[in-house]
Amino acid sequence: MKKLLVALSVLFVCFAATAVVAAPPIRIGGLFAVTGPASFLGEPEKKSLEMLVNEVNAKGGVNGSKIELTVYDTQGDVTKAVQLATKLIKNDQVVAIIGPSTTGETMAVIPIVEKEQIPLISCAAGIKITEPAKRWVFKTPANDHVAAAKILLHAAKLKQKSLALLTVSDSFGSSGREQLKVLAAQKGFTIVADEVYSPKDTDMTAQLTKISGAKPDAIICWGTNPGPAVITRNLKQLGLKIPLYQSHGVASKKFIELAGADAAEGVMLPAGKLAVYNRLKQNEPQMPVLQAYDQAYKKSYGVEASTFGGYAYDGFQLLLGAVKKVGATPEQIRNGIEQTRKMPGVSGVFTMSTTDHNGLDLSAFEMVRIAKGDWELAN
């Protein structure tokens, strides 16, 4: 009888251990523009998310459960983003989605996640994504009005009072243009030219010629590659010496590569601290995260990490923190993300609330200047 009891006890322990190992996976989804015009955003986002999931699973998962990741390539297409978001929710039964990469895609997906009550952590910057706050929607890039304010603060310091705007005619560009015009009026700037270009335009000399005639103190271009790179080259080709600001939408080495180091020399923009973290003070709150992310990405993929990949990195950290603290149902994840306080990330230090589902302020950005094909802090 004693031997039987011992045998049963061993079986029970083994069964219990198997039950722990066999805890149901936490299914999450990723929607990124891995290919297409916005691939400079989506590719590092996808790689960053996959890297993090592999790291967590290699350590046994979270709360006894492995992370099961499904990523779809939206190609930057709004229709595909909607279809694939629906697929993630209905077919793959994910409890949360990280992405999409662009503002237009995100705005199209929001009605779906709100209806289905699935947390969405967008990797796009448009202010309308989270303002006003939507119950199931969060995002990791700082709002475009924060980037606009950072540019205008720098322009004011340089006494550049008359400005020309050159913005792309998509959701990101339209939102940036709107924020720039509102803030410029509030802060006493004069908009002397307001030009727009299409995402598919390959030459913007006509717009730049008009801008030159208005004699601005500086030009602010708002868009994502390749347009801003074309504008930077065109400005150089026309021999114009007008100072040029770009938005945070081009804060990666890909922009310098596309524009050419010579044409990009002196271009200024607001960028996340990752771009210049080796030039910051060691007591910077984000420093441990920035170093860890860059080193891990280099080890995994052989190249330095990008600000854009950091958006997905932060999205996963917000999700992981919520699961650890609250639980892994969609409602628990949503509540946990909203309760995030002072979490250092790649994009900034996040503090969420019921009315703020972005959680970043001006401290998320550093003003940088391109010098000899690299970033330096702008004075």
Q: Is the confidence at residue 4, as pLDDT, over 80?
A: no
Least confident of 3-12, 18-27, 229-238, 252-261: 3-12
Residue 20 pLDDT exceeds 50? no
Which CATH number, 3.40.50.300, 3.90.420.10, 3.40.50.2300, 3.40.50.10680, labels domain 145-278+365-377?
Answer: 3.40.50.2300
Position 190 scores a pLDDT of 98
Query: pLDDT band at 6, cuts 50/70/90?
Result: very low
pLDDT over threshold 90, residue 157: yes
**Over pLDDT 70: what percentage of the chain?**
94
Contact (Cβ atoms closer than 8 angstroms) between residue 325 and residue 336: yes
What is the per-residue pLDDT across 311-322, written as a single tens digit (0 to 9) for each? 999 999 999 999
**What is the pLDDT confidence band of residue 8, given thresholds at 50, 70 and 90?**
very low
Same fold, 25-143+286-362 and 145-278+365-377: yes
For residues 191-211, average pLDDT: 97
pLDDT at 18 over 70: no
Per-residue pLDDT of 38-70, as tens digits, reads 999 999 999 999 999 999 999 999 999 999 999
- For the residues 23-32, what does the mean pLDDT come to? 96
CATH code for residues 25-143+286-362:
3.40.50.2300
Whole-prediction pTM: 0.87
Whole-number pLDDT of residue 354: 98
Averaged pLDDT score across all residues of the chain: 93
Q: Which residues pair with 195 in a beta bridge?
A: 166
Could you tell me the pLDDT band of residue 379, with boundaries at 50, 70 and 90?
Answer: confident
Residue 276 banded pLDDT, cuts 50, 70, 90: very high
HSE, CB side, 13 Å, CA atoms: give it for residue 312: 33
Q: Where are the domains of the chain?
A: 25-143+286-362, 145-278+365-377
In this prediction, residue 22 has a pLDDT band, given cuts at 50, 70 and 90, of low
Position 161 scores a pLDDT of 97
Is the pLDDT confidence value at 13 over 60? no
Instruction: Answer yes or no: is pLDDT of 339 > 90.
Output: yes
Cβ contact 210:196 at 8 Å: no
pLDDT of residue 23: 87
